[in-house]
């Protein structure tokens, strides 16, 4: 999913033919990790959706730190824009040709990337999806990610408790059709709130792409449709801040509960200031660290990561309820990204 969301600046070199960015680190530690037969360092690839989104910048930061610690050699690439599947395909091909033992990828297109992943795996490359699953999920060897259904459920349970039994008029500001991360968060919110799709409490749903300006427009549209909205779920914090701006323009910012997902530093600051009531914080750096460690373990001993690894999520709020365990914004700011 797009994260603007939903963080340490990368070392980059341009690959014009791929419209990608490719870099390497850990060159000073050759030989310390073993590469499964070549005698050099383990080569690890990281491919993110973009190289500008703070979420993915933080992910790269984690991968670089883990590679340096283990003596691995890290190559990184990113799509030119969110949704750039062709660029990610080229990055996989380039990394396989360069002899990587494993590739960590946040897929721009969960289905379209599968053939390239299958080709890499046939050549013995371990492929781990980070943050966003492939479709089908087992197209990659493993998935290291936030439990996005749980993340949505946490804020749904919180919102239900925080409204204290008042009749709800809910707007959902979602991601985009067909994107697994966005759907899981949306479904989790409904589950946590205790309602189903089509419930009369759901008075408006709009897609935002996780963008702040689009979040503002979506909220404006929802307020035109249902002026009495009192609960707003957003796919991420930029969308939440857009919603807040629209609500403030109508003088409604203090009587509408806004909940979100991501836990970036800007969003966590918004929790601290009261603009967002609560957010579910996720940990992109940990995804990458675990991913690099898994590739090194595979290169050294043949141990192959498999299945789903939950990298954790925490509800962050300064107005907790008894319905769901939470940490305050001080904790959130110590563990945020961006």
Over the stretch 268-311, which tens digit does the pLDDT of each residue have?
A: 999 999 999 999 999 999 999 999 999 999 999 999 999 999 99
Q: What is the DSSP letter of 10?
A: P
- Per-residue pLDDT, 6: 37
Q: What share of the chain in percent tops pLDDT 90?
A: 83
Q: Are 257 and 277 in contact (CB under 8 A)?
A: yes
- Assign residue 198 a region (left: φ > 0; alpha: ψ between -120 and 50; beta: otherwise): left
pLDDT higher at 323 or 129: 129
pLDDT tens, position by position, 8-26: 333 333 333 333 333 434 3
Calpha distance 3→238 (Å, rounded): 9
Q: What is the DSSP letter of 11?
A: P
pLDDT tens, position by position, 249-261: 999 999 999 999 9
pLDDT tens, position by position, 66-117: 999 999 999 999 999 988 999 999 999 999 999 999 999 999 999 999 999 9
Q: Please say if the pLDDT value at position 62 is more than 80.
A: yes
pLDDT tens, position by position, 153-202: 999 999 999 998 899 999 999 998 877 889 999 999 999 999 999 999 99
- Per-residue pLDDT, 179: 79
Q: Please say if the pLDDT value at position 36 is more than 90.
A: no
In the numeric block, the tokens 């918004």 are attached to 270
CA-based nearest residue to 139, from 119, 169, 163: 119
- Per-residue pLDDT, 151: 98
Query: Please, how many CA atoms are within 13 Å of residue 117, restricted to the half-sphere of its CB?
Result: 28
> CA-CA-CA-CA torsion for 255, 261, 265, 267, nearest 10 degrees?
-20
pLDDT tens, position by position, 71-84: 999 999 999 998 89
Q: Please say if the pLDDT value at position 132 is more than 70.
A: yes
Give the max Cα distance, the chain.
66
- Per-residue pLDDT, 38: 54
Please report, for residues 85, 86, 322, the alpha-carbon distance to residue 122 in angstroms, rounded to integers and kept in the order given. Answer: 20, 20, 50
Query: Please, how many CA atoms are within 13 Å of residue 27, restricted to the half-sphere of its CB?
Result: 4
CA-based nearest residue to 197, from 207, 183, 176, 180: 183
β strands within the chain, DSSP E: 14-15, 20-21, 23-25, 43-48, 73-78, 102-105, 126-130, 142-145, 170-174, 202-207, 231-234, 257-262, 278-282, 307-310, 313-317
Question: Residue 4 — pLDDT band, cuts 50, 70, 90?
Answer: very low
Q: In the beta sheet, which residues pair with residue 337?
A: 264
CA-based nearest residue to 106, from 67, 62, 66: 62
């Amino acid at each position: 999913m797009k994260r603007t969301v939903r963080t340490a600046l990368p070392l980059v070199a341009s690959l014009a033919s791929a419209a990608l960015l490719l870099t390497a680190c850990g060159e000073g530690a050759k030989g310390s990790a073993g590469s499964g037969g070549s005698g050099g360092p383990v080569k690890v690839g990281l491919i993110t959706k973009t190289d500008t989104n703070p979420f993915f910048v933080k992910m790269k930061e984690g991968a670089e730190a883990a590679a340096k610690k283990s003596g691995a050699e890290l190559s990184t690439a990113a799509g030119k824009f969110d949704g750039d599947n062709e660029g990610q395909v080229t990055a996989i091909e380039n990394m396989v040709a360069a002899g990587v033992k494993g590739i960590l990828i946040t897929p721009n297109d969960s289905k379209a990337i599968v053939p390239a992943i299958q080709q890499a795996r046939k050549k013995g490359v371990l492929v781990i999806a980070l943050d966003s699953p492939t479709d089908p999920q087992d197209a990659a060897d493993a998935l290291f990610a936030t439990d996005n259904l749980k993340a949505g459920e946490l804020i749904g349970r919180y919102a239900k408790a925080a409204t204290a039994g008042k009749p709800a008029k809910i707007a959902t500001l979602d991601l985009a059709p067909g994107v697994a991360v966005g759907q899981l968060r949306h479904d989790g919110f409904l589950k946590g709130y205790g309602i189903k799709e089509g419930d009369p409490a759901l008075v408006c749903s709009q897609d935002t792409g996780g963008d702040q300006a689009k979040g503002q427009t979506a909220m404006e549209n929802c307020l035109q449709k249902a002026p009495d909205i009192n609960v707003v779920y957003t796919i991420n914090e930029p969308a939440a801040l857009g919603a807040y701006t629209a609500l403030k323009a109508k003088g409604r910012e203090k009587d509408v509960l806004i909940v979100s997902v991501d836990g970036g530093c800007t969003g966590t600051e918004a929790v601290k200031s009261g603009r967002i009531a609560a957010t579910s914080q996720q940990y992109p750096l940990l995804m990458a660290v675990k991913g690099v460690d898994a590739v090194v373990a595979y290169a050294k001993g043949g141990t192959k990561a498999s299945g789903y690894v939950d990298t954790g999520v925490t509800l962050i709020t300064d107005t907790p309820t008894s319905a769901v365990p939470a940490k305050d914004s001080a904790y959130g700011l110590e563990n945020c990204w961006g």
